Amino acid sequence: MSLDYNSLLLAVGFSAACLSLTLFGIWLTARSEKFLLTWAASVLLVVGDVFTYKAYIDKPGPMLGVASFTLLLLGFSTMLGAAHQFTTGRSPLPRIALGANISLAVALPPIVLGYDGLGFMLENFFAALLLFATALEYWKGRAESPVPIIGVTALYSITAVSFVLCAMVPASDGKLVLGHAPSNWAEDLSLVIVIACMTGIGSLSLALNQGRLAQYHRRNALTDPLTGLLNRRALFDMHGDAPVGAFTAVVVFDLDGFKAINDEFGHAAGDEVLRVFARDLAGNLRPADVAARMGGEEFALVLKRTLPETVEATAESIRAAFAARRIETEAGSLICTVSAGFAFGTKEGLSFDKVLSAADKALYAAKRGGRNRVTASALRRVG
């Protein structure tokens, strides 16, 4: 092995170590992103392989060979698990176990038996398979952020191809026993590719994680934490600037006597009532409908491409289902009701504020009329 090769190998090791520390540091600040910890562990295993392989180059032997193979294939298997965890949120362990068990079961016996040439061919072949599988995991999740994820997929695939070359060159020579680490143009090229692609993968993956965190914080800012529905801000972000047409309706719901529920049963019971109603509301949504908690015990529903009779039937169904439900709380069971008012936009288009205000007035009319009922606004749609 030349000095240049050894220098490149050490560069890979130190670069990977820095990436692993960076990933671990980011995980400490965002522990909900568990894939970062898995990925940091995978890179750390690769770092271990680099320095073990360096020792093998200096002094070839079965023990160091087994250690190097194990660290590399386990590291790439863990990398596959991290990719699966990133795209699905599921446990990485099944992918790690599958990749490591199969690759190690095939690649280790030859080097233990003295066929190190065959062992290196198999190690490189399975390393390539694991990297291609990692690229595929990212490819499956490309809808989340297409450009960077496609970039990550491409870089993993390029790295995999470099390992394919490392497997093919000694295979073409047909040497099953080498007695030393492989030394050829493919090995040199692979190190250069690994350094370049690792840098790119690290940068793109960290950018992906930052983008995901930004989306997570925005989603939290637009979601009511108690019910999981959108909040008032989100509703106005979606509809506040657009005119409301003749076939769009806004329904406003308000739980009847909610203050009395809090006073008699406690705020924990009140919270449970709100959660139950939110589930009833969400359960009656069509794909295009939007439900939100406006604040306190008030909720809103926006229905598009609909008719007055459909809106009234939907609101009445929600009202009746909620009134018939016995809600179990720590303070005991209770029955609650809800009142609703709805309004439509016009053919010319009205501001969302105006339609919401008309629905509110219809709601107050339902309250004055005895509660537990649905009332239409005097502001009706123009044909």
**Which CATH number is 366's domain given?**
3.30.70.270
Q: Which of 221, 253, 281 is the last residue of a domain?
A: 221
Using a 10 angstrom Cβ sphere, with 0-12 exposed, 13-18 middle and 19 or more buried, the burial of residue 306 is middle
Co-location of 80 and 117 in the same domain? yes
Q: Which of 167, 199, 221 is the last residue of a domain?
A: 221
Co-location of 141 and 265 in the same domain? no
Co-location of 175 and 110 in the same domain? yes
Domain contains 383: no
Helix (H, G, I), strand (E, B) or coil at 252: strand
Residues 6+ positions from 77 with CB-CB distance below 8 Å: 42, 95, 96, 97, 98, 99, 100, 103, 130
Residues 6+ positions from 179 with CB-CB distance below 8 Å: 60, 116
Co-location of 204 and 239 in the same domain? no
pLDDT over 60 (residue 97): yes
Co-location of 54 and 171 in the same domain? yes
Domain contains 42: yes
* Per-residue pLDDT tens digits for 187-224: 888 888 888 888 888 778 777 777 777 777 677 777 88
Domain contains 179: yes
CA atoms within 13 A on the CB side of 121: 16
Domain contains 382: no
Domain contains 121: yes
What's the rounded Cα separation, in Å, for the pair 53 and 48? Answer: 8
Co-location of 214 and 278 in the same domain? no
Co-location of 253 and 367 in the same domain? yes
pLDDT over 70 (residue 127): yes
Range of the domain at 128: 3-221
Please report the pLDDT score of residue 245 as a whole number. Answer: 87
Task: Find the range with the poorest average confidence among 92-101, 151-160, 218-227, 306-315.
Answer: 218-227
What's the rounded Cα separation, in Å, for the pair 82 and 84? Answer: 5
**The Cα angle at residue 33 between residues 32 and 38, in degrees rounded to 5:** 125
Q: How confident is the model at residue 379 (pLDDT cuts 50, 70, 90)?
A: low
Q: What is the DSSP letter of 179?
A: S
Q: How confident is the model at residue 381 (pLDDT cuts 50, 70, 90)?
A: very low
Give the count of domains, the chain: 2
Q: Which residue has the tokens 């994680």?
A: 209
Q: Helix axis angle, 258-265 relative to 267-282, nearest 10°?
A: 140
Q: How confident is the model at residue 380 (pLDDT cuts 50, 70, 90)?
A: low
Co-location of 121 and 263 in the same domain? no
What's the rounded Cα separation, in Å, for the pair 203 and 274? Answer: 43
What's the rounded Cα separation, in Å, for the pair 352 and 245? Answer: 10
Q: Helix axis angle, 116-140 relative to 93-112, nearest 10°?
A: 170
Co-location of 187 and 266 in the same domain? no
Co-location of 44 and 128 in the same domain? yes
> Looking at the whole model, is its pTM more than 0.85?
no
As a whole number of Å, the end-to-end CA separation of the chain is 84
Domain contains 296: yes
Name the most confidently modeled range: 268-272, 328-332, 345-349: 268-272
Provide the 10 A C-beta neighbour count for residue 203: 15
Residues 6+ positions from 315 with CB-CB distance below 8 Å: 251, 253, 301, 340, 342, 374
pLDDT over 90 (residue 251): yes
pLDDT over 60 (residue 54): yes
Helices (H) and strands (E) in the chain, counts: 12, 8
Better-scored residue on pLDDT, 348 or 302: 302
What is the CATH number for 178? Answer: 1.20.1070
Provide mean pLDDT across the span 123-128.
Answer: 96
Domain contains 381: no
Co-location of 217 and 237 in the same domain? no
Backbone angles phi, psi at 93, to 5 degrees: -60, -45
Closest CA to 156 of 107, 109, 118, 194: 194
Residue type at 303 in one-letter notation:
L
Cα torsion at 328, 329, 330, 334 (round to 10°)?
-80
